[in-house]
Structure formats: C-alpha cells, structure tokens
Amino acid sequence: MTTRATRLLRMLDELRQRRGPVRGAQLAARLGVSLRTVYRDIDALRAQGAEIDGDAGVGYRMRPGFVMPPMMFPDEELEALVLGARWVASHADPELAAAANRALDRITGVLPERLRLQVETSGLFAPHWRPREPEPWLPALRQAIRDGHAVRMRYRDAEGRDSERVVWPFAMAFLDDMRLLAAWCETRADFRHFRADRVLELESTGRPYPEQRHQLLRRWEQQCLGRRASREQ
C-alpha cells in the first residue's frame, strides 16, 4: 500500500472516531503532514465518495450513516488481525471460535490479491498446546454480558465449598489456561472474580441488572486501581 493510501485510510479513521468537527490543523498534526496536504486529501476522499461535511477554517466531520469502503490494512495491522483471530479460534468456545474464523474469512474476502495471499500464507499461529474442553456455559455467559442480565450459578471455590449466588456479569478474560468472569455478586454486595471451570451450574435469570455494563466496568476499574495503589504504598 502506498504512503498516500495509508494516510487517506488514517484520515478516514480519524474522522470516523470523532463525534464533532475536527479542524484541519488537528488532522495535520495527527497525520504528520501540512495543512495544505490535509485539504488535498479531503478533496480526494470526497471525490472517491466519502461523505465529509465541513470546510477549511470550520472543521470536518464524517456524515452520520456513512459506511466506509472495504478497508486496506498496513502489514502489521493485518498480522495483528490474523493472529488475534487465530488465538480466539484456538482458545475460545466453539461458537466464538467459529465467529473468529468467519470474521477472518470476511476480511480476507475484501482484500486485494496481494494482501489476501499474505493472510493465507501468514506464518503467525496461536496453537493451544494443552487443549481442554471449554466450559459449556461460556456462550450463555457471553450473552448475559451483552444483554446486561443477571445469572444464577452454583460455584465451587478453591477450598471445595459450594455456594449458590446471583451475579451481574460484565467482563470475561480469556487466559491461556482458564476463563475468568468479573461480576457484581448480590450475595457479597461487591465485585468478585470467578473461574469458569469452577462453575457447576448456570442459568440466566432473564432479569436486566440495574446498572449499565459500562458503569460496572468503570467502578470495577476504579476499585482495582485503588487496591493496587494501597499495596504499593
């Protein structure tokens, strides 16, 4: 991909990520080019069908609803996508693994021949050397996280004690040898982490929990940072 083509894609990304108008000078600083180059690139993108509102001195923004054309990727971004999809395909539950393969096929399908060949012959792999059956309730947990629904589960802790509790799942970490669930526990009235392989039974309550998922994430992150700061003092 040429330097100019890469720059045009970066400019589209910059505009797509902004909610309000962004001035030409800001784009020039972000892209490391002159203001005159920004104006020429805006004109070039418009000529290719990009729906960009605004003028010099006022700012530019992508028109709502504009669908970006099939993406071109620099080599390192493409390698990251391939490696990430292959890691998910080898470490996640069957449904998520299949979705990763479909996503990679979809990306490959819109790439020009040179980049498609680069994906198909990529030497980056993510094999799982210690395969283990994924927990059967991973799809249900991922669905509960997406929907913001509480789940009821029976859980066995590290000491072998069983308990039944209702939790609000909001995040899951896929580690090499385990899956960890972050949730608000109604029983403990606090954030808790659960190993998916210690869940004995799980069912969705179908009940939305009272907070937005992003609010739980923010509170959990603040609590984690606070505890880390306390340990470092």
Task: For the chain, 233 residues long, give each residue's pLDDT as a single digit of tens.
Answer: 457 877 888 888 888 878 789 999 999 998 899 999 999 999 998 888 888 999 888 899 988 766 555 556 778 888 999 999 999 988 888 999 999 998 888 788 767 787 888 888 888 888 876 556 788 999 999 999 999 999 999 999 999 999 999 999 999 998 877 899 999 999 999 999 999 999 999 999 999 999 999 999 999 999 988 777 667 65
- DSSP H or E stretch at residue 152: strand 149-156
User: Can you tell me the distance from the alpha carbon of 221 to that of 227, in angstroms, rounded to the nearest whole number?
Assistant: 10
Give the tokens for residue 45.
Answer: 């993108």
Give the tokens for residue 50.
Answer: 């990009």
Looking at residue 221, what is its pLDDT?
93
Looking at residue 233, what is its pLDDT?
59
Task: Report H helices in the chain.
Answer: 3-17, 24-31, 35-47, 75-91, 94-109, 113-120, 138-147, 213-232
Token pair 């308990």 is found at: 163
User: Can you tell me the distance from the alpha carbon of 100 to that of 176, in angstroms, rounded to the nearest whole number?
Assistant: 17
- Greatest alpha-carbon pair distance for the chain in Å reads 68
Distance between start and end Cα atoms, the chain:
50
What's the half-sphere exposure (Cβ side, CA atoms, 13 Å) at 119?
25
Candidates 156, 189, 193, 155; CA nearest to 171 is: 193
Looking at residue 1, what is its pLDDT?
43
Cβ partners under 8 Å of residue 203, min gap 6: 140, 151, 152, 153
DSSP 22: B
Looking at residue 7, what is its pLDDT?
84
Classify the C-alpha dihedral 64-84-203-145 as positive or negative: negative
Q: Which conformational region is residue 86 in: left (phi greater than 0), alpha (psi within -120 to 50 degrees), or beta?
A: alpha
Looking at residue 206, what is its pLDDT?
92
Give the tokens for residue 151.
Answer: 């789940």
Q: Tell me how far the alpha carbon of residue 157 is from its chain's centroid.
A: 30
Token pair 């629904």 is found at: 149
